[in-house]
Structure 1
Amino acid sequence: MKNLLIADDDHHIRTLLRHVLTREGYLVLEAADGREAIQKLKEATVDLAIVDIMMPHVDGLQLCQYIRGTYDIPIILLTARQQLSDKEQGYLHGTDDYVTKPFEPEELLYRIKALFRRYSIASDDKIRLNRLVIDRKNYEISDGNDVLLLPVKEFELLAQLAQYPGRLFSRSELIELVWGTDYEGDERTVDVHIKRLRQRFIDYQDDFIIRTVRGIGYKVEMISP
């Protein structure tokens, strides 16, 4: 079930969207301004944000820019503005789509579903572990602020485990998947690489842990916020 964040200072708009989106099976988080929205993003995993431009404290464009620089989620700007220059600013600040008030709820639903399809295709090479995003295409791991570069086998081992959170992999499976069927070393190399990964990510234990299942192998478990 996907979490959607609605950031809008209009209580009636938030109520309408909450009704429409929960009816479609989404979980809805609400924020009355950009500052509250940032706090909601820090407290829970959000899969898509619907953001009004005109908000107090932190406006929609600032919030959009913050989200784009920190999270890899779709953004829809919701606004009464119709000028082309306003839409241009929205896209320059990182929005994926733009819906002008007044709007039909069904149209917004179509756009949400289309964005999820687009992001699903685009994110095939990306794996999220709460704050961390593993980019398998570029061999990078980002926490939203810094990019972490790992030795190739450590990266591939973590990506393999993280792609299937909760699934137990035996040492022999990991050897075959990461090192290949022609690897001539023994399975203890998995233990060595797991130890290194735990040391590297000791500051991210609130996001995920690598669990040892004695006598079998390892699995990644995500930590619920």
Structure 2
Amino acid sequence: MTRILIVEDETDIADVLRDYLRREGHQTDHVADGREALRHMLETPPDLTLLDVMLPGLDGLSVLQQARVHTQHPVIMLTARTEEVDRLLGLAHGADDYVCKPFSPREVVARVAAVLRRTRAPQEVAAAAHGMELDESCWHASLGGQPLNLTRREFSLLRVLARQPGRIFSRARLLELAYEDDVDVTERAIDSHVKNLRRKLSQAAPEHEWIRSVYGVGFSFEPPPAPAAPRG
């Protein structure tokens, strides 16, 4: 059973979310304080956290930033702050999705299902579904059977991006995940590696833009849409 942590200081909202999520078969826990939420996320990471931004004790963005040092479980931000900069800030800190209040609880449940599907897919399965193969044993990558001839650093970056298609990673986050032990790589170098990856991916599949830039935030891996099912 999937365990969802609801971090929300408004009891009425938390109760509604808990009821809807339980109807879908999820187990839920609820905390209303930022520091308590951080403790839960680190000591007993749930399958997914619904995290409000405005919290007592420690705000949601600070909770997310500190939690991301130790856990990569999916997080959906909930907030009444609708300015684009706030949404982008949450994504830059590692949020998987962002829902603005007031929201329909059905929408939140649908977002939870979508994020869980995306983040639970094994890297190899997600990549292979789009004709991409990543072999970590020899740092070999191919697309549609065509070798990409990546450097080790380019491979490391593609591996992180392809693991969670659609998720936006900041440069700082990519630096942590792809080059944790590589002190020679800087945030500025990320742009260079992305440029090289795009060029090599384009040579193998020129009809699609595989890596999307999100201005002011970072990059995401965008596989091509699935072909429409034939009618009749």
Change (3 A) 1:124 1:12: farther
TM-score calculated relative to the size of structure 2: 0.52
Change (3 A) 1:137 1:104: farther
**Matches of 2:26 and 2:124 in 1, distance apart?**
22
**Matches of 1:106 and 1:123 in 2, distance apart?**
28
**Matches of 2:124 and 2:29 in 1, distance apart?**
26
SS at match of 2:77: strand
Q: Which runs of 5+ in 1 are unaligned?
A: 126-135, 140-146, 149-225
**Matches of 2:123 and 2:75 in 1, distance apart?**
15
Change (3 A) 1:60 1:85: same
Q: Which residue is 2:119 aligned to?
A: 119
Q: Are 2:77 and 2:90, in contact at CA under 8 Å, matched by a contact in 1?
A: yes
Q: CA RMSD in A?
A: 2.6
SS at match of 1:41: helix
Q: Which runs of 5+ in 2 are unaligned?
A: 126-134, 140-179, 182-232
Could you report, residue by residue, the CA deviation over 1:85-114 in whole angstroms, capped at 9, with x for unpaired residues?
111111111111000011111111111111
Amino acid at match of 1:30: H
Q: Which residue is 1:167 aligned to?
A: none
Higher Cα Rg: structure 1 or 2? 1
The reply on whether 1:49 has 2:52 as its aligned counterpart is: no
**Matches of 1:98 and 1:113 in 2, distance apart?**
14
Q: Are 1:78 and 1:101, in contact at CA under 8 Å, matched by a contact in 2?
A: yes
TM-score calculated relative to the size of structure 1: 0.54
Q: Which residue is 1:89 aligned to?
A: 89
Q: Are 1:3 and 1:45, in contact at CA under 8 Å, matched by a contact in 2?
A: no
Shift in Å at residue 137 of structure 1?
4.4
**Matches of 1:3 and 1:97 in 2, distance apart?**
17
The reply on whether 1:21 has 2:21 as its aligned counterpart is: yes
Shift in Å at residue 42 of structure 1?
4.0
Could you report, residue by residue, the CA deviation over 1:69-89 in whole angstroms, capped at 9, with x for unpaired residues?
211211100001111111111
Change (3 A) 1:66 1:122: farther
Q: Are 2:45 and 2:71, in contact at CA under 8 Å, matched by a contact in 1?
A: no
Q: Which residue is 1:33 aligned to?
A: 33
Q: Are 1:6 and 1:50, in contact at CA under 8 Å, matched by a contact in 2?
A: yes
Amino acid at match of 2:82: Q
**Matches of 1:48 and 1:37 in 2, distance apart?**
12
SS at match of 2:78: strand
Could you report, residue by residue, the CA deviation over 1:1-20 in whole angstroms, capped at 9, with x for unpaired residues?
01111111111111111111
Could you report, residue by residue, the CA deviation over 1:113-155 in whole angstroms, capped at 9, with x for unpaired residues?
1111111225569xxxxxxxxxx9489xxxxxxx89xxxxxxx
The reply on whether 1:59 has 2:44 as its aligned counterpart is: no
Shift in Å at residue 68 of structure 1?
1.8
Percent identity over paired residues: 39
**Matches of 2:136 and 2:75 in 1, distance apart?**
23
Could you report, residue by residue, the CA deviation over 1:7-60 in whole angstroms, capped at 9, with x for unpaired residues?
111111111111111111111111111111122224434010100000111100
Amino acid at match of 2:84: L
**Matches of 1:68 and 1:43 in 2, distance apart?**
13
Change (3 A) 1:2 1:137: farther
SS at match of 1:70: coil
Q: Which residue is 1:2 aligned to?
A: 2
SS at match of 2:121: helix
Q: Are 2:42 and 2:67, in contact at CA under 8 Å, matched by a contact in 1?
A: no
Q: Which residue is 2:169 aligned to?
A: none
Structure 2 matches for 1:186-197, cutoff 5 A? Answer: none
